């Protein structure tokens, strides 16, 4: 009985936890593709900031903690090139430049949601483990 149970456990473990080398390679490639376009420290955050509504350069810089003007400018160019963001110029005095999400950026909603859920869960976990390690007051 213990023998069969251990075989069953081994098999079910293989099925659930261990994708095959081919699956693994396919997932690896797909994730590499995804990270190639939306990886890095800032791109997803810029997209999230623009989901709230179109924004000007300075507004974006204010909302996204810690990004420099140089990096924001480069990232916006990249996002424009890859079709996630469009740059709208309204001529007048003064000229207004606004950044807007494209419809294609909405295909990222699932990724953003799962990342944000995981981030929230992880933060709670870190808080809990910090509480556990706190010295107990006498």
**22 vs 91, beta carbon nearer a copy of itself:** 22
DSSP notation for 42-73 = SHHHHHHHHHTS-B-HHHHHHHSTT--HHHHH
**Residues within window 39-58 making contact with a copy of itself, judged by CB under 8 A:** 39-41, 44-45, 48-49, 51-53
CB contact set of 80 (below 8 Å; sequence gap of 6+) = 86, 87
Query: Locate tokens 């110029």: which residue?
Result: 89
**66 vs 94, beta carbon nearer a copy of itself:** 66
CA distance 84 to 34: 13
Selected from 9, 10, 11, 24, the binder of a copy of itself by CB under 8 A is 24
Q: Is 100 in the site for a copy of itself (CB under 8 A)?
A: no
Q: Is 34 in the site for a copy of itself (CB under 8 A)?
A: yes
CB of 17 to a copy of itself, least distance (A): 7
Q: Are 65 and 97 in contact (CB under 8 A)?
A: no
Q: Which residues bind a copy of itself (CB under 8 A)?
A: 17-21, 23-35, 37, 39-41, 44-45, 48-49, 51-53, 63-65, 106-108, 110-123
């Amino acid at each position: 009985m213990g023998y069969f149970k251990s075989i069953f456990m081994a098999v079910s473990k293989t099925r659930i936890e261990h994708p095959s080398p081919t699956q693994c390679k396919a997932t690896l490639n797909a994730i590499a593709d995804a990270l190639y376009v939306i990886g890095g420290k800032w791109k997803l955050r810029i997209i999230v900031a623009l989901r709230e509504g179109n924004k000007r350069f300075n507004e974006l810089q204010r909302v996204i903690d810690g990004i420099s003007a140089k990096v924001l400018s480069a990232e916006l160019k990249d996002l424009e090139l890859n079709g996630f963001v469009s740059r709208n110029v309204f001529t007048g005095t003064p000229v207004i430049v606004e950044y807007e999400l494209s419809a294609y950026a909405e295909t990222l909603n699932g990724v953003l949601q799962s990342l944000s859920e995981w981030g929230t869960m992880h933060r709670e976990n870190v808080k809990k483990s910090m509480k556990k390690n706190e010295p107990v007051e006498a």
